[in-house]
Amino acid sequence: MDRSERFYLIDRMLNEHKVVTRAQFLDALEVSPATFKRDLEYMRERFNAPIVWNAERGGYEFAPTRDGPKYALPGLWFNPSEIHALLTMNAMLDELQPGLLSSHIAPLRARLEMLLEEGRVAAAEVRKRVRVHRQAARALPASVFETVAAATLKRRKVRMRYGARSSGQTTDRTVSPQRLVFYRDNWYVDAYCHLREDLRKFALDAIQHAELTEEKAKPFDLKTVERELDRGYGVFGGGDVQWATLRFSPTRARWVAHERWHPEQRGWLEADGRFILEVPFSDPRELLMDVLKYGAEVEVLGPPTLADALANEVSRMAARTR
């Protein structure tokens, strides 16, 4: 964490626990004793923080203050992941249709407003000045989500009618939901399909009808689900995993070197400024879509099957533009 984050953590720990030992601070802040000492001195000198050592209680505390400069940290703000989470939750509440949770939404929204305003900024101003754009989000019937979510949490089977967009076929299935996944602005459910007798990932927006049953879901250890469905690239899991090796031009490397394509990716910069990225995949479709975004700024070094698939796709695209 950066220095400003440490200041707010020190402040919060003292307000919550009243007396905090040096060991507790060092463990929470993950800094050296010398850095911790400098942080305290800075807070005392710049922010008038009345932090004192209480020898009897063996820790630091805020001393009572009556006269003198008032202690106050500058307006608290959030790190990028925290503000994204808060605004995303707020945006999802805005889109929520009236339903069983309606009576619970107001307190939740009020709590989000309080969290945002802890930054000394009005929540309305935050929503107006900061935008979370959800791209390519597909329409999802509320009834489908509610049924699948209930089945996932209650560990029940679901009977559903599923329209697979890849094949255009519609099938009736019974599935045992294992977990819900929010990926690229859309919801999926990882489930055991009793028709195919295998773990599969289903897009909730492709479920045309869902019915909660009283039958218990087939149990799976979540590590097994992760191993089977997360080892591929994107939403395409399962099957034999291969590793793609991509080489980006120096221009695109400035971006790609800081991107996260897959939790297990490997990457390094070459001497000439090009960037090598290695990612696992089991089905090339989504990976090809991401590679195509970079046009001639990326090369597929392997495996040959992926390079051939990319070349074929580029040829088909070229043929349609003539």
Domain 3-62 has CATH 1.10.3470: no
Which are the contacts of 189, defined by CB distance < 8 A and separation ≥ 6? 148, 152, 175, 177, 178, 179, 180, 181, 201, 202, 204
Distance (Å, rounded) from C-alpha 234 to C-alpha 143? Answer: 26
At the second CATH level, the architecture of 242-320 is 2-Layer Sandwich (3.30)
Nearest Cα neighbor of 183 from 256, 139, 234 is 234
pLDDT of res. 198: 93
Which are the contacts of 260, defined by CB distance < 8 A and separation ≥ 6? none
- 204's tokens: 């909730």
Tracing tokens 């939404």 back to the chain, one arrives at: 105
Distance (Å, rounded) from C-alpha 158 to C-alpha 138? Answer: 22
pLDDT of res. 125: 65
CATH 2.30.30 domain span(s) along the chain: 146-228
Most confidently modeled range among 71-80, 120-129, 234-243, 260-269: 260-269
Which are the contacts of 177, defined by CB distance < 8 A and separation ≥ 6? 148, 151, 152, 158, 189, 190, 191, 217
Distance (Å, rounded) from C-alpha 171 to C-alpha 133? Answer: 33
CATH 3.30.70 domain span(s) along the chain: 242-320
71 or 87: which carries more pLDDT confidence? Answer: 71
Distance (Å, rounded) from C-alpha 159 to C-alpha 71? Answer: 60
pLDDT of res. 83: 62
101 or 113: which carries more pLDDT confidence? Answer: 113
275 or 168: which carries more pLDDT confidence? Answer: 275
CATH 1.10.10 domain span(s) along the chain: 3-62
Tell me the pLDDT tens digit for each residue of 39-66.
Answer: 999 998 888 889 999 999 999 999 887 6
Q: Are strands 242-248 and 298-302 parallel, antiparallel or unpaired?
A: antiparallel
Tell me the pLDDT tens digit for each residue of 96-107.
Answer: 555 545 555 566
Tell me the pLDDT tens digit for each residue of 278-302.
Answer: 999 999 999 999 999 999 999 999 9
pLDDT of res. 124: 66
pLDDT of res. 100: 46
Preceding peptide of 303 cis, ω within 30°? yes
pLDDT of res. 106: 63
Residue 284 · residue 232 · CB < 8 Å: no
Using DSSP, state whether 162 is helix, strand or coil. strand
As beta bridge partners, residue 62 has: 51
Residue 199, pLDDT > 90, answer yes
Burial 75-106 (b: 16+ CB within 10 A, else e): ebebeeeebeebbebbeeeeeeeeeeeeeeee
pLDDT of res. 38: 92
At the second CATH level, the architecture of 146-228 is Roll (2.30)
What pLDDT band is residue 243 in, cutting at 50, 70 and 90?
very high
Say what angle helices 22-29 and 3-17 make with each other, to 10 degrees.
140
What is the rounded average pLDDT for all residues in the chain?
A: 85
Give long-range contacts, CB 8 A cutoff, 24+ apart: 260-266: 261/233, 261/290, 262/233, 263/230
